[in-house]
Amino acid sequence: MKKMRIVLTGGAGFIGSHLTSFLLNEGHSVIVLDNFITGKRENIEPFFDKEEFDFIEQDVTKYIDIEGDVDYILHFASPASPIDYLKYPIQTMKVGALGTLNTLGLAKMKKAKFLLASTSEVYGDPKVHPQNEDYWGHVNPIGPRGVYDESKRYAEALTMAYHKFHLIDTRIIRIFNTFGPKMRPDDGRVIPTFVMQCLKGKSLTIFGSGKQTRSFCYISDLIDGIYRLMMKDYHFPVNLGNPKEISIENLAKSIANITGREVSIVYKGLPEDDPQCRKPDISKAKELLSWEPHVDLMKGLIETVEWFQSLHKEV
């Protein structure tokens, strides 16, 4: 297989750093662009001494200048957890709009392929269950999640426009809830939050009734799906996620069991526009990429808890 020179925005984030590691192992050369707004230097430090790795500290909403040939651009930069995009609403919109424009412009100039990391949030609080790629979604543009949902919807529209008008060789993935080592303990997402609460002996905070559902995909499965789509000639959005659905209440119980701690639960208000359910229809990925997740939720949670435990000891 041809060795590629790949530009990855958001490479210091949770998904970006796993993707960097995978691509380097596949023998590619990776240039990470990140401004550490939500990413972490520690996530990419292990790659600094690798010859095939380069890092540019940069906000991708500003003009991007890369020397030499580029084969592929992967646009993963964005605050992506609800508390992150509530904290950085304008930056979230700028990276979805200007960041996507700049990275697509770079793809055009370099005649490179392009992949956009989009999200299941484009479906909003869905009225179709499970969500397939033909569903247009149910998004409140002016609600708290609108900054993320609408910037990703805009980014998808822009990517398709560059594909159709400039004939750029693009891909779009819609990533559903993903988890694993290297998530930030304070990113506010439900799995790191529950794990850290258990490890610190605090009460688990369930928002709303806990009957709302999500479907959690382990990081290695997601990375496998991303790489398969990178290698495929397909330009419409593809859902990547684990279709096994669980309520937040049952997730809390499972995490408490794994950590072996006696923990109490406190119920808090449901955040505005919090989706009631989410589960990907992955028929397209199965057919197109021969892909489906293999890591069972419990196995993935055990790995994740172990990782947070090692982190917690250092704190």
Give residue for tokens 């990533």: 175
- Segment interacting with ligand UDP, rule: CB under 6 A, options 15-23, 133-141, 204-212, 290-298: 204-212
As a whole number of Å, the end-to-end CA separation of the chain is: 43
| Listed residue (101, 104, 120) closest to 112, CA to CA | 104
Active site residue 162: no
Q: Is 236:289 a contact under the CB 8 Å cutoff?
A: no
CA torsion, ordered 69, 99, 239, 245, to nearest 10 deg: 130
Contact between 214 and ligand UDP per CB under 6 A: yes
* Strand runs labelled E in the chain: 5-9, 29-34, 53-57, 72-75, 113-119, 170-175, 178-179, 204-207, 213-215, 217-218, 237-240, 245-247, 265-268
Contact between 207 and ligand UDP per CB under 6 A: yes
Q: CB of 191: closest distance to ligand UDP in angstroms? A: 7
Applying the rule CB under 6 A, the residues between 77 and 116 that interact with ligand UDP are 81-82
How far is Cα 315 from Cα 303, in angstroms, rounded to an integer? Answer: 19
Q: CB of 257: closest distance to ligand UDP in angstroms? A: 17
Applying the rule CB under 6 A, the residues between 157 and 196 that interact with ligand UDP are 177, 188-190, 193
Q: CB of 205: closest distance to ligand UDP in angstroms? A: 4
Beta bridge partners of 39: none
How far is Cα 254 from Cα 301, in angstroms, rounded to an integer? Answer: 9
Q: CB of 189: closest distance to ligand UDP in angstroms? A: 4
Give the interface size with ligand UDP as a residue count (CB under 6 A).
Answer: 15
Encode burial over 245-268: b for 16+ CB neighbours within 10 A, e otherwise.
bbbbbebbbebbebbeeebeeeee
Contact between 248 and ligand UDP per CB under 6 A: yes
Q: Work out which of 212, 215, 242, 304 binds ligand UDP, going by CB under 6 A.
A: 212
When the beta carbons of 18 and 214 are compared against ligand UDP, the nearer one is: 214
How are beta strands 72-75 and 113-119 bridged, if at all? parallel
Q: CB of 215: closest distance to ligand UDP in angstroms? A: 10
Residue 102 in tokens? 């700049």
When the beta carbons of 55 and 192 are compared against ligand UDP, the nearer one is: 192
Judge if the upstream peptide bond of residue 280 is cis by omega within 30 degrees of 0. Answer: no
- Segment interacting with ligand UDP, rule: CB under 6 A, options 25-33, 150-158, 202-210, 233-241: 202-210
Q: CB of 226: closest distance to ligand UDP in angstroms? A: 19
Q: Work out which of 52, 273, 274, 303 binds ligand UDP, going by CB under 6 A.
A: 274
Contact between 144 and ligand UDP per CB under 6 A: no
Q: Work out which of 132, 140, 205, 254 binds ligand UDP, going by CB under 6 A.
A: 205
- Segment interacting with ligand UDP, rule: CB under 6 A, options 26-34, 70-78, 159-167, 203-211: 203-211
Catalytic residue among 72, 88, 123, 148: 148
Phi, psi of 77 (to 5 degrees): -70, 125
* Catalytic residue numbers, as ranges: 148
Residues that bind ligand UDP (CB under 6 A): 81-82, 177, 188-190, 193, 205-207, 212, 214, 248, 271, 274
